[in-house]
Amino acid sequence: MDFQQVLVAIAEPQRYRIVSLLAEGPRTVGEIASALSALQPQTTKHLQTLESAGVIALHRLGRRRLASLEREALRSLAEHLGELAEPGADDDLLRDYAASVHRETHRAGSGVGGARTLQLRRHLNAGQAEAWTAWIDPGVASRWWAPDHFVVSEFAMPLEPGAEVRMSLREGDGAEYDSAGRMLAAEPGTLLEFELAPLGPDGSPLFSAVYRAEFTSATDNTTDLLLTIRVDDTSPDAASALGGLEIGWGQLLQNLAALLQDRRLP
């Protein structure tokens, strides 16, 4: 069945009325025309369109023409629409993000400062050295350091204190989102501390953010990660970025954990 053809056929108001009438039972063409207050030629055209889409059947019984509903076609359409309506993996995430952006917009409008500290923890199936390297190696970091529907288009995480840290994410439509900052401290296998903030259209930071990633060995082959994010100096345009901060980093660390798990598989 061509579901799009069916939807187009029944979307027209008069044809939808015909379907509703036939749901009650078969009708002659004359009865349908009378119910629609329409001429028979117009009604016949509507019936032919519905028949062509497989929504109704037309029966010639002697001199009478009777229309009946193809209920199985509507059941198939309902099943198809039901499949489309099944919850998607990102539905809850998108609703949470929208609600968070709304809260940040309200905070900004109320004059409440945007400063806050977030902490996220993850248990990683990798040794300390491997987990730490996943943050600084462009080839590895680009595989996890992007939310769904984005790709990492630029990544620079130099280890020298004061060196510029840069990150660019590209969305499916080609839009680029840049972030910049500087390295504060790097201790191989145990600590990364750096500034990184999203840039507005004019190239200025939307807020000041310091990230501190601490890596602690849990066993020989697993690592506990503690990520602390300190945010300050927010701009009035930072609501969307701040709203997605905790949600986005939760998703990124989930990506990291999954990547390291997969890398350990034979």
Question: Does residue 107 fall inside a structural domain?
Answer: no
Q: How confident is the model at residue 52 (pLDDT cuts 50, 70, 90)?
A: very high
Task: Identify whether 89 is part of a domain.
Answer: no
Question: What is the DSSP-derived secondary structure letter of residue 111?
Answer: T
Q: How far apart are CA 173 and CA 185, in angstroms?
A: 35
pLDDT for 121: 95
CATH code at position 23: 1.10.10.10
Q: Is the pLDDT of residue 26 over 80?
A: yes
Same domain flag for 47 and 120: no
The tokens for 28 are 């002659």
* Cβ-count burial 69-92 (b if 16+ within 10 Å, e if not): bbeebbeebeeeeeeeeeeeeeee
- Tens of pLDDT, residues 156-191: 999 999 999 999 999 988 999 999 999 999 999 999
pLDDT at 106 over 80: no
CA–CA separation, 17 and 239 (whole Å): 47
The predicted pLDDT at position 78 comes to 95
Q: Are residues 72 and 121 in the same domain?
A: no
Q: Distance (Å, rounded) from C-alpha 52 to C-alpha 44?
A: 12
Cα 233 from chain centroid (whole Å): 29
Assigned domain for 12 exists: yes
Please say if the pLDDT value at position 108 is more than 60.
Answer: no
- Asked if residue 128 and residue 30 are part of one domain, the reply reads no
In this structure, the answer to whether residues 174 and 123 fall within a common structural domain is yes
Q: How confident is the model at residue 116 (pLDDT cuts 50, 70, 90)?
A: confident
Our count of domains for the chain comes to: 2
Last residue of a domain, one of 63, 84, 105: 84
Domain extent for 212: 114-263
Same domain, 122 and 243: yes
Q: CATH number of the domain at 156, please.
A: 3.30.530.20
Q: Is residue 109 part of a domain?
A: no
Both 236 and 147 in a single domain? yes
Domain contains 99:
no
212-223 residue pLDDT tens: 999 999 887 899
Query: Quick one: 134 and 30 in the same domain?
Result: no
What is the rounded distance in angstroms from the CA atom of residue 159 to the CA atom of residue 173?
A: 32
Let me know if residue 241 belongs to a domain.
Answer: yes
Span 197-214, average pLDDT: 89
Both 58 and 142 in one domain: the answer is: no
Same domain, 129 and 255: yes
Q: For 86-102, what is each residue's pLDDT tens digit?
A: 877 666 766 766 776 66
Beta pairing partners, 215: 225
Residues 258, 147 share a domain: yes
pLDDT at 208: 83
| Domain assignment present for 104 | no
Give the CA angle between residues 183, 262, 190 to the nearest 5°: 30
pTM of the model: 0.68
The pLDDT value recorded for residue 236 is: 64
pLDDT given for residue 265 in this prediction:
39
Same domain membership, residue 251 and residue 167: yes
60 and 121 belong to one structural domain: no
Angle at Cα 110 formed by Cα 106 and Cα 114, nearest 5°?
Answer: 75
State what percent of residues in the chain have pLDDT above 70.
88
Q: How confident is the model at residue 266 (pLDDT cuts 50, 70, 90)?
A: very low
In a domain, 154, yes or no: yes
